[in-house]
Amino acid sequence: MIKLKSFKNKYFLIIGMGITGISVSNSLLKGGANVYFWDDDLNKRKALRKKGYYLINDKNITNIEYIMPSPGIVTEGKNAHKYIKRLKSKKSKIISELDLFQLYINSINKLKKIKIIGITGTNGKSTTVSMIHHSLKKNNINSVLIGNIGQPIFSSKKLNHGIYILELSSYQLEQAKIFKPDISCILNLTPDHLDRHITMHKYATAKCNIFQNISARNVCYYDSNKNIKKIASTNLDMKKLKLLIPVKKISSSFKNNKKISLISKKHNMQNLYFSFLILKKLGLKTSDIYKSFSSFSGLPHRQEIILKKKNFIVINDSKSTNFESLVPALNNYKNIILICGGQIKSNKINILNKNRHNVIKAIVIGETKNIFFNYFNKYVDTSYVKNLNKAVKMSLSIANIVNEHCTILFSPGAASFDQYNNFEERGDDFRRKIKAEILK
């Protein structure tokens, strides 16, 4: 665990006691701070009080100097959390998890033996940070993978030297003010989390906060195809803007490398290439990077083959949570029996036009029927069955009678929250249901 010693005797309020809130709370307590908490969930408040955490109340609220809202807590406007509104008037300072981490790094990194890599974007973040972490480990370089993947930041082990690799969400970056990675990257930007950010511009602005404190000593990559520089220009001065490095295209020597081609489908090539650029910047040899890539097996729920039969294969792509992340899966397979649906994030389904011809049957699940159903029903036989159990049974039944080899593709193209807590839970359920039907 990382101890935040620089806030000894200071008074903190943590709002939202999920894994992030608990992690920061414990770090502050170990460092000698006075920490109070609030969570909107009554049962969680009761459970945490039993464990010895101190709940905020009218008596102790007057002492609060800092507020740490967990990612997901609204801090601005009419929808701002009640304690944010109340304490802002008392001039309590809002400080984000990322800024607390930056202050911690500043306090210990006198000899510059620690580097921070920050990766954000709409799609591909987890794969990219995992490839970088895998490659560093294979090359005996000390590193820790934290942030929006795996361990919360302050629950990770303390590094005396090495590299912290952070996967960062728009929620985390939205509140950051002083966070300054040594190497930062925006992989891509497509509509996402608009229920929170309202507009694409506000969502993109939150992502571009990863670049806000850069200097000539930092390295900043972005995908030039998504017009990120145009959005960043509204937030950065010209001097900083010139430091951004566009990744215009993937070099042919990289694409044609045999070790790369063995592990990369088209959807993974961008993730691999950004990982390659960052690892080169860290000083690794090209041959060592390629060698480490060849032993990377990928992450679950990302075009994961979970079953191979003589006449069909089954793919778990539960990580597909928007239309843009459904496109690569449709592009990679033929004769697709597609299971899709869930909570839809935009209405721009026509982005699927180029690859819809690969679908021979569409099975729609989830709370939002019409957008997926109306789209695919114009081109192929389409059914709506609402839940995953019926979709699995229908897809296997069809696969067993199709005359040519086909692919059962579970690539929802939508968020999971209508029926599941997250995409991992959704993907695990799909895997279980496939296995149960096959074993009947």
DSSP-based three-state secondary structure for 38: strand
DSSP-based three-state secondary structure for 263: helix
Strands 406-410 and 312-316: parallel
Strands 11-15 and 219-223: unpaired
Using 50, 70 and 90 to split pLDDT, how confident is the model at 261? low
Tokens for 285?
Answer: 């040899």
Which amino acid would we find at residue 128? T
Residue 133 CA to residue 275 CA, distance in Å, equals 9
Strand-pairing partners, residue 115, are 163
Helix axes 388-399, 423-438, angle to 10 degrees: 50
Using 50, 70 and 90 to split pLDDT, how confident is the model at 298? confident
| pTM of the predicted structure, to 2 decimals | 0.86
Residue 26 CA to residue 22 CA, distance in Å, equals 6
* Neighbour tally for 218: CB within 10 Å: 16
Mean pLDDT (whole number) for 50-67 = 94
pLDDT at 254: 83
* pLDDT greater than 80 at residue 198: no
Mean pLDDT (whole number) for 370-386 = 95
Using 50, 70 and 90 to split pLDDT, how confident is the model at 433? very high
Helix (H) or strand (E) holding 364: strand 359-365
Mean pLDDT (whole number) for 285-304 = 90
Least Cα distance to 102 among 164, 157, 156, 160 occurs for 164
Helix (H) or strand (E) holding 55: strand 54-55
* Neighbour tally for 280: CB within 10 Å: 12
Count H helices, E strands: the chain? 18, 17
Lowest-pLDDT range of 14-23, 82-91, 176-185, 262-271: 262-271
Least Cα distance to 129 among 152, 106, 146 occurs for 146
Please list, in sequence order, all residues whose beta carbon lies within 8 angstroms of the beta carbon of residue 327, skipping any fewer than 6 positions away. 351, 352, 354, 355
Strand-pairing partners, residue 187, are none
Using 50, 70 and 90 to split pLDDT, how confident is the model at 265? low
- Tens of pLDDT, residues 14-52: 999 999 999 999 999 999 999 999 999 999 999 999 999
* pLDDT greater than 60 at residue 356: yes
Contact 129, 279 (CB under 8 A): no
Q: What are phi and psi of 296, to 5 degrees?
A: -85, 120
Q: What are phi and psi of 221, to 5 degrees?
A: -105, 150
Contact 341, 418 (CB under 8 A): no
Mean pLDDT (whole number) for 297-306 = 88
Contact 413, 372 (CB under 8 A): yes
* pLDDT greater than 80 at residue 142: yes
Alpha helical stretches, state H, 64-186: 82-88, 97-108, 125-138, 170-174
CB half-sphere exposure, 391, CA atoms < 13 A: 28
Residue 399 CA to residue 407 CA, distance in Å, equals 8
Residue 38 CA to residue 70 CA, distance in Å, equals 11
* pLDDT greater than 90 at residue 361: yes
Using 50, 70 and 90 to split pLDDT, how confident is the model at 371? very high
DSSP structural state of residue 415: B
Please list, in sequence order, all residues whose beta carbon lies within 8 angstroms of the beta carbon of residue 190, skipping any fewer than 6 positions away. 122, 123, 226, 322, 323, 324
Question: In whole numbers, what is the pLDDT of the chain averaged over residues?
Answer: 91
Contact 380, 359 (CB under 8 A): yes
pLDDT at 224: 85
Alpha helical stretches, state H, 89-227: 97-108, 125-138, 170-174, 194-197, 200-208
Residue 135 CA to residue 253 CA, distance in Å, equals 19
Mean pLDDT (whole number) for 65-90 = 88
Lowest-pLDDT range of 8-12, 77-81, 376-380: 77-81
Tokens for 392?
Answer: 């699995």
Residue 298 CA to residue 133 CA, distance in Å, equals 12
pLDDT at 50: 95
* pLDDT greater than 90 at residue 193: no
DSSP 281-324: HTT--HHHHHHHHTT----TTSSEEEEE-SSEEEEE-TT--SHH
Contact 24, 100 (CB under 8 A): yes
Mean pLDDT (whole number) for 174-181 = 94
